[in-house]
Chain A
Amino acid sequence: MTAKENFFKGFVKENPLFISALGMCPALAITKSIENAIGMGIAVLFVLVFSNLLVSLITMNPKIREKVMPVRIPVYIVLIASLVVIVEMVMEAFLPDLFETLGVFIPLIVVNCIIFGRAEAYAGDHKPLESVVDGAGMALGFTGAIMIISLIREVLGAGSITIWGNIKLDLTFIFDFLGIEPISMFLQPVGAFFTLGFILAAIAAIQNAKKNKTSKEVSK
């Protein structure tokens, strides 16, 4: 697999959220605005890239690997948790408002299956550079996925697109033109479940269609 394929596999083919259904808690909870999704994405990117790097560095040397392997689960937990605490502190210091909105979901990156899953499934037996590329691709794929959910929820629920702080696109004129109010239901938990459910259904529909196509081609 080339480095490019390795990087982009997290975007579509092995998207952690849409294909593997990992990390659903933050994907539902913090997707009220794109700003939140970007903030969460940066945090996950940092943690995932560094945890993959550190795990692959530790397991690269056969001697260290031999000593670490029996206790690798607590080792990984400590590593990931330390990275998360660093993100937590830096974010609280420099982005206090965002930290406040993301709340408990920043420390909860510790138990996000994506991070642990990549450490266990990929970084443990790949070279450091490959692991970093893999981590970055996966994290960006996750970020893209939660941004799509946020986009749908924010546009339909609040009639705006908040990219960062004051950089905000106001779309209420469309709702005014149509003579309707934004559907605030999409900002509530209901909207989160609905949006993710329909996106997953759409993906399943596309996959099914592809499968049918290939099976038809094969039968021909």
Chain B
Amino acid sequence: MKQGLTSGLVLLILGIICGLTLSVVNFLTAPIIMQNEQAKKYESLNDLGIEMSQYTITDSSLSGAIDTVYLLTPIDSQTNPIIRVYSVTTTGFSEGLNMMIAVDENMIVVAYVTVSHQESPGYGKDTLETHDFNMVGAVLPDTTQFEAKAKTTVTCDAVLLCFDLVAIQATLDFGGEN
């Protein structure tokens, strides 16, 4: 009986020591692992040029043209506003023109980027890759400052539709907070 007790005690002490060591290591590595995972999950957001390390990111899925909304909550809420990034898909000349549009809590467009598209080379493709639609700084739902490019009306309309759709969704999302 005494033998069993000592054995149990030995195992218990060992278990406690190991458990403590592991929780210390976990405490040190867990934040880095979390960061890595987030960086990987939200890799696509990097193209927007927003400093992602300043925000904690959560995402939710929707159905319809806007498939995903990423909510960026600033870690330092004094200097940075809350941003919502919308992944929106419309149809230009071909299906599947996917854009990411970042809107802050004042309904100002912070950044936007075309993620993928099937537009024709020489026309819509060039417009999407080189033309500046001058939408950064626009206060939604006002999209009058949108600058289309001649000869690529269909593509530009599709892009404008993206902004319009985001404007509707953003009004709903941010509406309750103002």
Contact = CB atoms under 8 A, between A and B. Distances in A.
Interface of A: 67-68, 70-71, 74-75, 78-79, 81-82, 85-86, 89-90, 92-94, 96
A92 B33 contact: yes
Q: How large is the interface on B (under 10, 10 to 19, 20 to 34, 35 or more residues)?
A: 10 to 19
A90 B28 CA distance: 9
Given A82-B21, A96-B36, A90 B7 contact: no
Contacts of A67: 6-7, 10
A210 B32 CA distance: 53
B170 to A, nearest CB: 34
A89 B25 contact: yes
In terms of DSSP, what is the predominant structure of the interface of chain A? helix
Given A70-B7, A71-B7, 20 more contacts: A68-B10, A71-B11, A74-B11, A75-B10, A78-B11, A78-B15, A78-B18, A82-B18, A82-B21, A86-B21, A86-B22, A89-B22, A89-B26, A89-B30, A89-B33, A90-B25, A90-B29, A92-B29, A92-B36, A93-B32
Q: Tell me which of A71, A74, A78, A85 has the highest count of chain B C-beta atoms within 10 A of its own C-beta.
A: A71
A94 B32 contact: yes
Contact of B33 (A68, A74, A93): A93
B3 interface: yes
Contact of A85 (B10, B22, B30, B36): B22
Contacts of B25: 85-86, 89-90
B75 interface: no
A79 B33 contact: no
Given A75-B10, A82-B21, A85-B22, A70 B29 contact: no
A93 B29 CA distance: 6
Contacts of A78: 11, 14-15, 18
B153 to A, nearest CB: 44
Nearest to A85: B22
Interface string B2-28: 010011001100110010011001100
Nearest to B35: A93
Contacts of B21: 82, 86
A126 B98 CA distance: 65
B39 to A, nearest CB: 9
A67 B9 CA distance: 10
A168 B91 CA distance: 43
Nearest to A58: B14
Contact of B22 (A70, A82, A94): A82
List of 9 A-B pairs having minimum Cβ-Cβ separation, nearest first: A93-B29, A93-B32, A82-B18, A89-B29, A71-B7, A96-B36, A93-B33, A92-B33, A86-B25
Contacts of A90: 25, 29
B3 A79 contact: no
Q: Tell me which of B7, B10, B32 has the highest count of chain A C-beta atoms within 10 A of its own C-beta.
A: B10
Contacts of B33: 89, 92-93, 96
B26 A79 contact: no
B32 A70 contact: no
B14 A70 contact: no
Contacts of A75: 10-11, 14
Contacts of A94: 32
A121 B30 CA distance: 35
A49 B33 CA distance: 25
Contacts of A92: 29, 33, 36
